[in-house]
Structure formats: structure tokens, C-alpha cells
Amino acid sequence: MKIDPALKDLDALFPANFTEDQKAQAKTLFLKNLSLEAHRFYGGKMQTVPRCGVYGLNWFNVWYTPGVSKISTTIRDDNDASFSLSGRGNLVAVVSDSTRVLGDGDCTPPGGMGVMEGKAMLMKYLGGVDATALCVDSRGPDGKNDPDKLIGFVKMVQHSFGAINLEDISQPNCFKVLDELRDACDIPVWHDDAQGTACITLAGLLNALKLAGKKLPEVKIVLLGAGAANTTIARLILADGGDPARMIVFDSKGSLHTGREDIKNDKRNYRKWEICEKTNPGRAASEAEALKGADVLIALSKPGPDTVKRGWISSMADKAVVFACANPVPEIWPYAAKEAGAFIVATGRGDFPNQVNNSVCFPGILKGALLVRAKKITDGMAIRCAHSIADFSEKRGITADSIIATMEETDVFAVEAADVAQQAIKEGVARLQLSWEEVYNQAKADIAAARALVEDMKKLRYIKEPPAEILEAALVKAVEAVKK
């Protein structure tokens, strides 16, 4: 079977007699199988190319010694000059200890490279941002991961980058790492699993509620999972007008409330304790109880497909909104949630309608922060980005199966970059004062250049098309596995 390398219609690849559940399983297996072989074929996803030209032998004396001495002394006398005289101004470090890689848990330090390179690739292609993957061994002598080692590492390398993107750090370490580095560093430190996921989830929620005819301050929201992502989602929703009395959050031990002494007594869980103090005044005992009459379910918990039960969805309010965003398998398949009565269903995957994935967020918000040389990314900037994405999506049209922009909509990244940059200027955390148009035009030009570079390399066959046998073998393995 000839498979289109663009992979535009995955459902059409599988046998017509496959059930919806079998198709969903087969897609997951196919993408995993193909990922392994494609990574092996390309030897990873990223490489380094020069930004400048070599026009003759003496240009090496310009780019390196003796000419480069002038760059060293200029930056010595004004460290901020490093943003314009080196690649630092458009360079992000994607830093992880690989202790919570997607839904796979601790994958050892090098085990996170696939994800970190993926982040770097998305930043370049979608946001025109250069990035490099740095997987760090933060284990102490006892074999446990030490957040202070990760904090110390980032403090040491920050002078080579314009921003730091933290990724796949297990909780509760992730809270301490982010909060300490946000204060200690003079460049943006952004935890994409937490802040990025919260930003895009808020964007999707705003538009889903518009379609449902409901308002954020009036809806009952249940969050399943209390890791870095959902605790930050809860914080941003509340900061943007959500009612804490109508919010209930669950971790693996039950709902969060002021009676949770296990959380209160562990100082590392201060972010979860903040939620305990603010939400769930009725102390709901179970997910089933909490979801009765709820307007919204946001699940970032245990991969499914049966983590969320159909009966829970059926008991929710009319025009219920369900975000089942566990990776790589959502807590409930979208078709099952719809059959149970959900009005809008979103997942973190691009092969289902309504992908709520931070890939629509982080390239733009980081680009905006970099262009005005922001010193940090505040919650206000994240909320502004969420509204930027929601507003952009609404203007182009939203439906129950298309609540927010996708990665294919190039302009959304330049728009959110410009909006975020203006928020940074408003909050006084930007080094440069640029207009909305200046940021938008520069971001758009950089994104176009990044995409053109990839397309030119494909045309010149410096990037080769994956062999057909790789795609076919991945499909055959997936179909056979599901049939068994």
C-alpha cells in the first residue's frame, strides 16, 4: 500500500472493518513505530548551520580571531550586547532531567533527547527560534534527583541563552526549579509542561465555553490530575476569573482540600497546597461525585483509554466540555466521550479534532519574549497569550470540532508573539520597547525564513524523504498488533 508521506488522512490507512477503538489503537502504534524508524533514518531531528556566510578565506579572521576579539571586549563591557552580537538573542535551551517524559516516567537523562529535540524542532519551524536540547543528570549520591543540581546548572548556562525552556521534570521538584529560577535568572525561564499547557488549555477552554454559551466565572470545573500541568492550569483559570468555589482538583489520592494533611505537611507540595486552600469547599469525595453537573472536565492524569468513565461524562451538565489530554493515550477516546454526551472533546493529539497542545503556544510566546529581550515570562504574559490564541481562532471561525488554531496556521505564532511582547512591555519586564507591528513583522519574517530553509534543504535533498518501506512497515506492524 502506497502511503502519502504527508500523512494527511491516518484513518484511511486502516482496515474498513476496524472499530473506532481499534483505529485509535492502531494510530498510536503506527505513529510510535514510524517515529522509531524515522529517528533512526535521520539520526535525530536537529543539526547546527551557520547564520553567516564565508565569502573568502579572510572572513575566518572576521568571524574568529583576530576580529572576534572586538566582540569579546564589547560584551565584557556591556553584557546585554551579547543578545545582538551573538546568537544568544534568539537561542533557547531546552533543559530536562528526563524524570517525567510524556507518559513514560523517568527515562534516564539521555532518554529525554527525543522530546527535547522535538521541542527544539517545533521552536525553529513554528516560531523561528533557535534551540538546543540539554538533558541533565541531576541525581545525587543517593540516586535521587536533586532539584538544586538542576537549578545550579541553569544558573551557570543562562549567559549563553536568551531563554530557558524547562521540560519533563517530575513533581514536586518541577515547582521549586521553576520558581527559584524565575527569580534568580535575568532571562525568561519557562516550564512548558506547566505554563505552556496551562496557556493553551485556557485558550481552548475560553472558546469552548463561548460555543457552549457559558461564562468562565459561572462554570463548575473538575481537574483530574494535580501534576505540574493541572496545578498551573488551575492557577491560570482562577487568575483569569474562574470561581474557586466551583473548582475541584484530584490527585492520585483523592480531591484537594484543606483536610489534606499529607500535602500540607510536605513543604515541597506548596503549589498543591495553594489549590487545597482555594478550591473544593464541599470536599467532594470522588471523581464520580464531583463530575455530577460539572460543566468542564480537564484531565491530565493517567493515560487511558478507561481512566475517565463514560458514566462520569453522562452525569455532567448539558453541553459539557471534556479535555482528555494524557499522553500518549487520552483518558477516554474522543468518540467514547461524545457518545456519552460531551458537547466538545479535546485531546493533546493532532490525529483527533481539537488538539490542545502547547505546540501552538510556546514557539510564539518565547519568540515574543526574545524579541523584546524580556527578563521573565509572567503569568500575565501567559494569560495574554491564551487570549491571543483564543481571539485569533475566533476571528477565523470556531466550531465544536475546531476550537483553537492549529500548528498549520502560521500567522497565529506571529500574532501571539506581538501580543505577548506588548504585555511584557506593559509589565516592565522588557529590555526593548518595540511596537506591536515591529514584533509581528520580525516574527513573521523569522518564521518564514526558518520554513524556507527546511523546504530548500528538502529540495536540494540535504533532507531526504523517508523511504516508503519505513512507512509501510510501521503500518503493517500496527495493524497486525491490533488484530491480535
Annotated active-site residue in 23, 27, 45, 119: 119
Taking the CA atoms of 442, 447, 451 and 457 in sequence, report the sign of the dihedral they define: positive
Annotated active-site residue in 32, 42, 64, 483: 64
As a whole number of angstroms, the distance between CA 448 and CA 442 comes to 10
As a whole number of angstroms, the distance between CA 38 and CA 41 comes to 5
Q: Could you tell me how many residues make up the chain?
A: 484
The alpha helices in 161-254, defined as continuous H runs, are 173-184, 197-212, 228-239
The alpha helices in 270-354, defined as continuous H runs, are 270-278, 287-291, 310-314, 334-339
Do the bridges between strand 91-96 and strand 247-251 make them parallel or antiparallel, or are there none, so unpaired? unpaired
Active site residue 119: yes
As a whole number of angstroms, the distance between CA 458 and CA 463 comes to 5
Q: Phi and psi (nearest 5°) for 250?
A: -120, 140
| Spatial contact of 99 and 145, defined as CB atoms under 8 Å apart | yes
- Of 136, 159, 161, residue with least CA distance to 149: 136
| Spatial contact of 320 and 295, defined as CB atoms under 8 Å apart | yes
Catalytic residues: 64, 119
